[in-house]
Chains A and B, each alone.
Chain A
Amino acid sequence: MFKYTASEWSAIQLSLYVALICAVITLPLAIAVGWFLARKRFFGKSVVEGILHLPLVLPPITTGYLLLLVFGNRGVIGKFFYETFGIQIAFSFYAAVIAAIFVSFPLVTRSIRLSIELVDQKLEEAARTLGASNLRVFFTITLPLALPGVISGFILSFARSLGEFGATISFAGNIEGKTQTLPLAIFSEMQVPGQEASTMRLVVVSVILSLLAMIAAEFLNRRVIKSKTA
């Protein structure tokens, strides 16, 4: 029953690979945006927040379609890459990563923003009176104190990417070995009669990976709350 076929392994590996790259790219962006939203006030902040959080509530297939419009060979960005570098983004491995980034970004930003908001600004103020530049304050005070939230954001991003389906299938397609991640493989297996065992094998991996990620994120969240209330 638990003997995985080459294509199943390929889907599992691809999923992990996409999720990892997505988390690594999303993290610094989310830290920057999370800090900006936590610490700065500016005109139109609610609109910016609304746009940033849009992928959270949009049907993923809509996100995928919009990404296709922008990154497709005739889209604003896609056209530039295709004509200048000969790179086709849509229906490629890059598309799977981009789709994962877009859907997980608001989730990670929220987590990081919350943990930065919990860092006492008075400590940052104290650091400045001791001669620290804004950059030094960020790296020596804000970031270390928000670290559990940042790590939990990283895991969230990883977990969300593992589960990504709608945006990926519409923007990256369902190409075995190239863009067929775990959820897409499960979907494909479900379409074929007699593949219940294969579906179940993939479902088990999917549940275990997601569960591990959520346990880790919850553990770190508790540590944040504990450290703030200590």
Chain B
Amino acid sequence: MTEKELLQAYYRQGDLAILAQVYTPYMSLIYGVCYKYFKHEQRSQDAVMQIFENLIKKLRLHEVDNFKSWLYTFSKNYCLMELRKDKRYQEEALGDYAEEPTSFTWEEQDFVRLEDCISNLNKEQQICIRYFYLEQRCYQDIALITGYDLTKVKSYIQNGKRNLKICMEKK
């Protein structure tokens, strides 16, 4: 059975074994996400279990279309809510993540505009974007070549990518 069929079966029957079958492959990713927010092993493990508990009810009430991205948002929200509960956390801007796939079709002039848009990025973003997307280098290589800090490289690419997208969508 596919993931979708399993979810439908759970939606109808409420058999936990089925839900566990769907959930298990995602546990490691969810654990990683939780650790990112909690920075605590035991707490992250408990969160993985608690998210499962919450799914038990949720997935009997709703049928979910894109389970992976739904589960990601659900898990992240769970962690953020927990952090908010104990007030040790200052709210982090969301927004960055849920990028929707665009149905962008490329025309010749778009390639020209892409070059323009890349040139319009700031210097660091421009360099990193070129290495990453055009030369297909990994973060580590880019850091070595440019001398930028590894974490900086990553944020240059993330921000550059976002700016590039904004620029390309301006017609």
Query: Are A and B subunits of one complex?
Result: no
Residues of A within 8 A of B (CB): none
